[in-house]
C-alpha cells in the first residue's frame, strides 16, 4: 500500500512540476512590462499642461523656468519619447534661480507678470531690461510701484517704444534691445519648441522604419 502511494505521489509530481513551471513562465510573460509606445503630440501637450498646473500658483501665460522641465521630461520618457535635443531646449529657459524668475514669483511680481504677459514679447523686453546696468533695480521698482507694467506696454506696443528700445540698445549691456532673445518664457512657447522637436523625431522614426523594410 505504501509503495503504491509513493508511486502515485511521484507520478503526480511529474505532472505538477512541469505544469507549475509553464504557468509561472506564462505569468512572467504576461506581467512583463510593455515597451512604451510612441506618444502623439496631443499626449505631449497634455503632459506639459498637467505638470505646470500641478503648481497651484501657476496660471496660463506665466513665466516658466528650467526647473519645471525635469518632471515633464521624466513623464515624456515614460510615454516613450526622450527628446534628442533636450539639452538645447533646457538652455532656452531661464534657470529657476534667475533674477527675473525669482522676482516674478513674489506676490507683487505675479500681479506684475500677468500684466506684462499680455504684451507681445513682454518677457523678452523685461529680460533685456534686467541686463542693463541698473536694470534689476528698475524692475524691482516697476514691480512694487503703481502701474509699473505700463513701461512694458509702451516698449512693446507704442511707436515711441521702439525708439526708446533703440536708445537702450546703445546703453551698456543693452545691445539688440528690440530683438527677440530666442528664449522660451511660456508654456505656449515651450509647446511650439517641443512640437518642432517631436516632428523631427517622427521623421527620423519613419526613415528608420523605411530603411528596415528596404533591408530585411
Task: Fill in the DSSP letter of residue 97.
Answer: T
Flag whether pLDDT at 19 surpasses 80: no
What's the pLDDT at 77?
Answer: 97
Cα distance between residue 207 and residue 214, in whole Å: 11
Using DSSP's 3-state secondary structure scheme, residue 171 falls into coil
Tens digit of pLDDT for each residue in 104-130?
Answer: 999 999 999 999 999 999 999 999 999
User: pTM above the 0.85 mark?
Assistant: no
- Give domain limits for the chain: 41-191
Lookup: cell for 149: 507694467
Task: Fill in the DSSP letter of residue 28.
Answer: H
Question: DSSP string spanning 149-208?
Answer: HHHHHHHHHSHHHHHHHHHHTTSTT-TTTTS------SHHHHHHHHHHHHHHHHHHHHHH
Mean residue pLDDT across the chain: 88
What's the pLDDT at 171?
Answer: 94
Cα distance between residue 97 and residue 102, in whole Å: 6
Tens digit of pLDDT for each residue in 158-190?
Answer: 999 999 999 999 999 999 999 999 999 999 999
Answer whether 185's CB lies under 8 Å from 128's CB. no
Amino acid at each position: 500500500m505504501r509503495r503504491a502511494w509513493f508511486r502515485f505521489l511521484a507520478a503526480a509530481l511529474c505532472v505538477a512540476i512541469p505544469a507549475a513551471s509553464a504557468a509561472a513562465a506564462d505569468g512572467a510573460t504576461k506581467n512583463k512590462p510593455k515597451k512604451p509606445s510612441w506618444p502623439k503630440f496631443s499626449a505631449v501637450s497634455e503632459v506639459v499642461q498637467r505638470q505646470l498646473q500641478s503648481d497651484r500658483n501657476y496660471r496660463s501665460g506665466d513665466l516658466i523656468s528650467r526647473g519645471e522641465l525635469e518632471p515633464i521630461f521624466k513623464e515624456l520618457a515614460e510615454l516613450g519619447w526622450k527628446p534628442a535635443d533636450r539639452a538645447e531646449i533646457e538652455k532656452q529657459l531661464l534657470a529657476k534661480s534667475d533674477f527675473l524668475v525669482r522676482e516674478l514669483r513674489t506676490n507683487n511680481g505675479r500681479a506684475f507678470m500677468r500684466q506684462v504677459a499680455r504684451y507681445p514679447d513682454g518677457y523678452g523686453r523685461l529680460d533685456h531690461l534686467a541686463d542693463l546696468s541698473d536694470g534689476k533695480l528698475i524692475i524691482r521698482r516697476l514691480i512694487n510701484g503703481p502701474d509699473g507694467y505700463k513701461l512694458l506696454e509702451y516698449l512693446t506696443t507704442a511707436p515711441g517704444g521702439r525708439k526708446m528700445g533703440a536708445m537702450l540698445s546703445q546703453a551698456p549691456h543693452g545691445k539688440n534691445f528690440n530683438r527677440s532673445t530666442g528664449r522660451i518664457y511660456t508654456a505656449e512657447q515651450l509647446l511650439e519648441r517641443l512640437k518642432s522637436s517631436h516632428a523631427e523625431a517622427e521623421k527620423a522614426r519613419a526613415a528608420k522604419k523605411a530603411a528596415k523594410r528596404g533591408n530585411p
